Chain A
Amino acid sequence: MTDLTRRTAADLAAAIASGEVSALEVAQAHLDRIAKVDDKVHAFLHVDTEGALAAARAVDEKRARGEKLGPLAGVPLALKDVFTTHGIPTTCGSKILEGWLPPYDATVTRRLREADVVILGKTNMDEFAMGSSTENSAYGPSHNPWDLDRIPGGSGGGSSASLAAFEAPLAIGTDTGGSIRQPASVTGTVGVKPTYGGVSRYGLVAFSSSLDQGGPGARTVLDAALLHEVIGGYDPLDSTSINAPVPQVVEAAKLGATQGVGGVRIGVVKQFDGEGYAPGVIQRFRESVDLLRELGAEIVEINAPSFDYALPAYYLIAPSECSSNLARFDAMRYGLRVGDDGTHSAEEVTALTREAGFGAEVKRRIMLGTYALSSGYYDAYYGQAQKVRTLIIRDFEKAFGKADVLVSPTTPTTAFKIGERADDPMAMYLADLCTIPTNLAGNAGMSVPCGLAPEDGLPVGFQILAPALKDDRLYRVGAALEAALLDKWGHPILEEVPAL
């Protein structure tokens, strides 16, 4: 039996369904792997050994009873610690929620359980998803399996690291400005931000409500598609959820892998190039574009001048919403309470608790957002950012008139060293340069690995963007590129991850 932790989710599901292996064996193999390597990687904040084994046993029992199993039944998964899990700690990487046991399941959590996916535990993240490196986690950073001194991206670095470290074949992340795609990019994994409203946000602890979007992470495009179909779809508990069928992403992934991208118009965004982009990133990106051309795609150049303003618009909109969303952490109903010694008022206890419970980046963004929404500044900052958002949407509309998908590097550089940008917020923010416009427009995006940068041997991500509700196009193009690169390399890129 080959190492169960090296297999794809699709493969594991088939093996479990056929009886080749039991779900329990699969779960145990991954729990063993976590026990072996997570000291070094620190992908998990909480491992739910008992819950995972119980879920796996339930799958085996179901199979023994002859019941039909879902497409991912028994497959282990790493869940970002920003989704509520009934009775299982949910911290969002923050001290303010340390020890909180949510009394309810997020819709994503519920759908995973209903699909018999085995949730291994909760993964590390930048506090409240604010960051691009997981260094903002109150529980210490995660490490990139490609080089433990480097960041695995963020905010969902725990999820991406768990995939690259073979601790889980599937992971869930959330993408507000790139927090699924950028970690996927720097760890050589696949990450998808579905169309806004495609995956329910109910139970996803909000950072920026109009931008947050949960989505799948995996080691292959097909695996991501399988997970996408499990978690996607309408949820009446989320008023911004799309009431339409989930795009046929599994179908699209299969189509891309077998039939390529003949006739697909691919737009290369002019703005995502030039200063600040590592040469190796640009090189691998261009090679991939050439490969897609060879596969029959039509390549067009796209000019989207407003994209240059996406980063500042994002750093007004997201903090504004976060300043309001995080107001609920006030020490009254759940979570940390500091200073309740009989001498302090509720107001003071709230301020003391938030001071002690929030990290520097969270405080920075709360204050930035408070500033941007203040009377006198609203129009120049928040209001103006929302207008820029309109311009970005218009540029996307124009671009999608010329191209079926847009492509760019996912992030300008490969994984940087832990600590390198720690107290330079502006430098840190640049990691999301290419991913942010999609969030502002509510479109869909994906990152697929496209090779290792020659200068440092670290993974480079290839970003694909599609119009809202056309998530299937991501999978079509992503799977085609993945298949062509696999042909070229002869093995999946993750086989080159050093032994841990």
Chain B
Amino acid sequence: MTVATEPLLDFDEALERYDPVMGLEVHVELGTATKMFCSCPTVFGAEPNTQICPTCLGLPGSLPAVNGTAVEWAIRIGLALNCEIAPWCRFARKNYFYPDMPKNFQTSQYDEPISFNGHLDLEVEGQPFRIEIERAHMEEDTGKSTHVGGATGRIHGADYSLVDYNRAGIPLIEIVTKPIEVPGHLAPAVARAYVAELRDLIRALGVSEARMERGQMRCDVNLSLKPKGATKFGTRSETKNVNSLRSVERAARFEIQRHAAVLASGGTIVQETRHFHENNGTTTSGRRKEEAEDYRYFPEPDLVPIAPAKEWVEELRKTLPEPPGVRRARLAADWGISDFDMQSVVNAGALDLIVETIGAGATADQARKWWTGELARTANEQGVELADLPITPAQVARIVALITAGELTDKLARQVVEGVLAGEGDPDTVVAQRGLKVVSDDTALLAAIDDAIAANA
């Protein structure tokens, strides 16, 4: 596939002439033990087609049965997003054909979502923003296709595809914003901040790990431009499956520049889906929506309506965690750090790790120093999430304790960290095996020097 490079207008110039309007649709995979409509497990990375049953494989005769926990979590997400919870709602079938969707309809919700009319507050560059939520509804995920043949392993030019249905039927919550109209130069950052805030909220609720790199949280960025001062929205593009925070920001920025170039040259935007490319930050045309899709939604006849009792909803409201923004402000005050420093902590994905490290006995300063310094650097170099480094908050706390006790210098402590990360064991084991204790009498020092000489001989 050849990708024609589309003309772009300079970002600032684009925003002098146009105002962007964004809509963000985020799909979150719930971390329930079983799927939305069947009792198959949902373990990530399982052998292909081992987490399937007649229902999620869409076999003739199979029927869905709703996961009550998924409904409960959907309500909690709705409440956390300040939504109204529908006193009565239904599932609906969204009908379209696609090989990775076993029934060729998605069991979703249409005009009766479980929660609607909410908002999420954020702060970008010190400015507060309220993102209005249109709806958060329940649906199911599709299977996964691997494209075989062709040059790129991509869908275009492939000879055939192989489908694994393990993911088919995993519960999804689709969260849709109302149109977001913010100062244009901040739009990409607001999009990113919204997704980040949503991710933190989802994690705080404990309903999903929301790891974007695993596809547990996926974002569609809908964007249109209108001439400065105009009220009528322009035609939008829908950039699908943007799967990192950075990409959300880049996709929004790219689309602003692309739309502006088309409009400035007198062209018109066609309504279409776009694909985002992580490697170069561009989007390319997907499917045109010239023949308006007709999904023929109708109420799912295999399922009965959901009518959450008021009392149940109020019980669930009591289980909501402290909102991430409030928690951050509280922690920043506790730790005596600025909002800016707190932002770096959050961006590094270090917040919960620091909290746990403090819980294991370290001071706030020390915990923050290690996680946002040495460890963040290592994670970055290795291209992994901070939380995925093979070192625990308890281990970091122990290292800090050794430093405080004067048994390690910072320099030696870095070697201990290195040892732990290399799988050499607990900090104390690494200290012992590498002989890293601060030496306090000459005998030991001399012995160490002798050892070193012997080792290098």
Please say whether the chains A and B touch (CB closer than 8 A). yes
**Chain A residues engaging chain B, CB cutoff 8 angstroms:** 83-84, 90, 92, 97, 100, 102-104, 106, 201-206, 208-210, 236-240, 320-321, 323-324, 327-330, 332-334, 342, 346-347, 350, 370, 373-375, 378, 382
B60 to chain A: closest residue by CB: A205
* Segment touching A, from B15-23, B196-204, B297-305, B310-318: B297-305
In the complex, are the beta carbons of A324 and B63 less than 8 A apart? no
List residues of chain B with CB within 8 A of the CB of A100.
Answer: 60
Residue from B64, B99, B102 in contact with A346 in the complex, judged by beta carbons closer than 8 Å = B99
In the complex, are the beta carbons of B103 and A327 less than 8 A apart? yes
In the complex, are the beta carbons of A239 and B103 less than 8 A apart? no
A346 with B61: in contact, given A324-B298, A327-B105 (CB under 8 Å)? Answer: no
In the complex, are the beta carbons of B60 and A239 less than 8 A apart? no
In the complex, are the beta carbons of B62 and A97 less than 8 A apart? no
Q: In the complex, A208→B163 CA distance in Å?
A: 28
Nearest CB of chain A from residue B130's CB, rounded to whole Å = 33
List residues of chain B with CB within 8 A of the CB of A97.
Answer: 60
List the 8 closest pairs (A to B, CB-CB), nearest first.
A327-B104, A373-B296, A209-B301, A210-B301, A203-B61, A205-B60, A84-B61, A205-B61
> 11 A-B contacts, Cβ less than 8 Å apart?
A208-B301, A238-B63, A239-B63, A239-B302, A240-B303, A321-B298, A324-B95, A324-B105, A327-B95, A328-B102, A333-B102
B302 to chain A: closest residue by CB: A209
Bitwise, B96-109 to A at CB < 8 A (1) or not (0) is 01010011110000
List residues of chain B with CB within 8 A of the CB of A382.
Answer: 298
Bitwise, B58-73 to A at CB < 8 A (1) or not (0) is 1111111110000000
B292 to chain A: closest residue by CB: A375
In the complex, are the beta carbons of A330 and B99 less than 8 A apart? yes
List residues of chain B with CB within 8 A of the CB of A239.
Answer: 63-66, 302-304
A239-B66, A330-B99, A378-B298 known; 19 new pairs, CB 8 Å cut-off, are: A97-B60, A100-B60, A103-B59, A104-B54, A236-B65, A237-B63, A238-B63, A239-B65, A239-B302, A240-B302, A321-B301, A328-B58, A328-B60, A329-B60, A330-B104, A332-B163, A333-B102, A334-B60, A375-B296
A240 with B304: in contact, given A202-B63, A328-B102, A333-B58 (CB under 8 Å)? Answer: yes
In the complex, are the beta carbons of B59 and A204 less than 8 A apart? no
In the complex, are the beta carbons of A106 and B64 less than 8 A apart? no
A334 with B302: in contact, given A328-B103, A375-B294 (CB under 8 Å)? Answer: no
* B57 CB–A CB distance under 8 Å: yes
B contacts with A: majority SS: loop
Q: In the complex, A370→B294 CA distance in Å?
A: 10
Q: In the complex, A487→B302 CA distance in Å?
A: 45
Q: In the complex, A202→B66 CA distance in Å?
A: 14
Q: In the complex, A461→B297 CA distance in Å?
A: 39
* B285 CB–A CB distance under 8 Å: no
B54 to chain A: closest residue by CB: A104
A347 with B102: in contact, given A206-B61, A334-B59, A373-B296 (CB under 8 Å)? Answer: no
Q: In the complex, A208→B301 CA distance in Å?
A: 8
* B93 CB–A CB distance under 8 Å: yes
Q: In the complex, A83→B60 CA distance in Å?
A: 9
Q: Which of B102-139 contact A (CB under 8 A)?
A: 102-105
Residue from A92, A102, A237, A375 in contact with B59 in the complex, judged by beta carbons closer than 8 Å = A102
* B366 CB–A CB distance under 8 Å: no
**Chain B residues engaging chain A, CB cutoff 8 angstroms:** 54, 57-66, 93, 95, 97, 99, 102-105, 159, 161, 163, 294, 296-298, 301-304
B303 to chain A: closest residue by CB: A239
Nearest CB of chain A from residue B375's CB, rounded to whole Å = 46
Q: In the complex, A350→B301 CA distance in Å?
A: 25
A327 with B60: in contact, given A209-B302, A239-B303, A382-B298 (CB under 8 Å)? Answer: no
Q: In the complex, A207→B335 CA distance in Å?
A: 63
Nearest CB of chain A from residue B191's CB, rounded to whole Å = 30
List residues of chain A with CB within 8 A of the CB of B61.
Answer: 83-84, 102, 106, 202-206
A204, A238, A346, A374: which has the most chain B beta carbons within 10 Å?
Answer: A346
Nearest CB of chain B from residue A106's CB, rounded to whole Å = 6
In the complex, are the beta carbons of B161 and A346 less than 8 A apart? yes
List residues of chain A with CB within 8 A of the CB of B95.
Answer: 323-324, 327, 373
B58, B61, B66, B301: which has the most chain A beta carbons within 10 Å?
Answer: B61
In the complex, are the beta carbons of A102 and B60 less than 8 A apart? yes
Q: In the complex, A119→B104 CA distance in Å?
A: 32
List residues of chain A with CB within 8 A of the CB of B304.
Answer: 239-240
B145 to chain A: closest residue by CB: A346
Q: In the complex, A238→B66 CA distance in Å?
A: 10
Q: In the complex, A324→B297 CA distance in Å?
A: 10
Q: In the complex, A90→B59 CA distance in Å?
A: 12
List residues of chain B with CB within 8 A of the CB of A334.
Answer: 59-60
Nearest CB of chain B from residue A238's CB, rounded to whole Å = 5
Q: In the complex, A493→B304 CA distance in Å?
A: 42
A197 to chain B: closest residue by CB: B304
Q: In the complex, A239→B296 CA distance in Å?
A: 23
List residues of chain B with CB within 8 A of the CB of A90.
Answer: 60
In the complex, are the beta carbons of B298 and A237 less than 8 A apart? no
Q: In the complex, A324→B105 CA distance in Å?
A: 7
In the complex, are the beta carbons of A202 and B62 less than 8 A apart? yes
List residues of chain B with CB within 8 A of the CB of A206.
Answer: 60-61, 302
List residues of chain B with CB within 8 A of the CB of A321.
Answer: 298, 301
List residues of chain B with CB within 8 A of the CB of A201.
Answer: 63
In the complex, are the beta carbons of B97 and A324 less than 8 A apart? no
List residues of chain B with CB within 8 A of the CB of A374.
Answer: 294, 296
Nearest CB of chain B from residue A111's CB, rounded to whole Å = 14
List residues of chain B with CB within 8 A of the CB of A342.
Answer: 159
B54, B63, B294: which has the most chain A beta carbons within 10 Å?
Answer: B63
In the complex, are the beta carbons of B99 and A373 less than 8 A apart? no
List residues of chain A with CB within 8 A of the CB of B102.
Answer: 328, 333
A340 to chain B: closest residue by CB: B160
List residues of chain A with CB within 8 A of the CB of B301.
Answer: 208-210, 321
Nearest CB of chain B from residue A104's CB, rounded to whole Å = 5
Nearest CB of chain B from residue A372's CB, rounded to whole Å = 9
Q: In the complex, A208→B99 CA distance in Å?
A: 23
List residues of chain B with CB within 8 A of the CB of A378.
Answer: 296, 298
Q: In the complex, A373→B95 CA distance in Å?
A: 10
Nearest CB of chain A from residue B21's CB, rounded to whole Å = 24
List residues of chain B with CB within 8 A of the CB of A238.
Answer: 63, 65
List residues of chain A with CB within 8 A of the CB of B97.
Answer: 327, 330, 347, 350
In the complex, are the beta carbons of A104 and B104 less than 8 A apart? no
Nearest CB of chain B from residue A243's CB, rounded to whole Å = 11
List residues of chain A with CB within 8 A of the CB of B57.
Answer: 333
Q: In the complex, A84→B55 CA distance in Å?
A: 13
Nearest CB of chain B from residue A309's CB, rounded to whole Å = 20
In the complex, are the beta carbons of A320 and B63 less than 8 A apart? no
List residues of chain B with CB within 8 A of the CB of A375.
Answer: 294, 296
Q: In the complex, A342→B160 CA distance in Å?
A: 8
List residues of chain B with CB within 8 A of the CB of A204.
Answer: 61
Q: In the complex, A373→B62 CA distance in Å?
A: 23
B54, B60, B303: which has the most chain A beta carbons within 10 Å?
Answer: B60
List residues of chain A with CB within 8 A of the CB of B99.
Answer: 330, 332, 346
List residues of chain A with CB within 8 A of the CB of B58.
Answer: 328, 333
A332 to chain B: closest residue by CB: B99
Nearest CB of chain B from residue A328's CB, rounded to whole Å = 5
List residues of chain A with CB within 8 A of the CB of B62.
Answer: 202-203
Nearest CB of chain B from residue A380's CB, rounded to whole Å = 14
A235 to chain B: closest residue by CB: B63
List residues of chain B with CB within 8 A of the CB of A83.
Answer: 61
Q: In the complex, A342→B297 CA distance in Å?
A: 33
In the complex, are the beta carbons of B93 and A324 less than 8 A apart? yes
Nearest CB of chain B from residue A321's CB, rounded to whole Å = 6
Q: In the complex, A333→B63 CA distance in Å?
A: 17
Q: In the complex, A210→B65 CA distance in Å?
A: 15
List residues of chain B with CB within 8 A of the CB of A104.
Answer: 54, 59
Q: In the complex, A347→B58 CA distance in Å?
A: 18
List residues of chain B with CB within 8 A of the CB of A329.
Answer: 60
A97, A237, A347: which has the most chain B beta carbons within 10 Å?
Answer: A237
Nearest CB of chain B from residue A93's CB, rounded to whole Å = 12
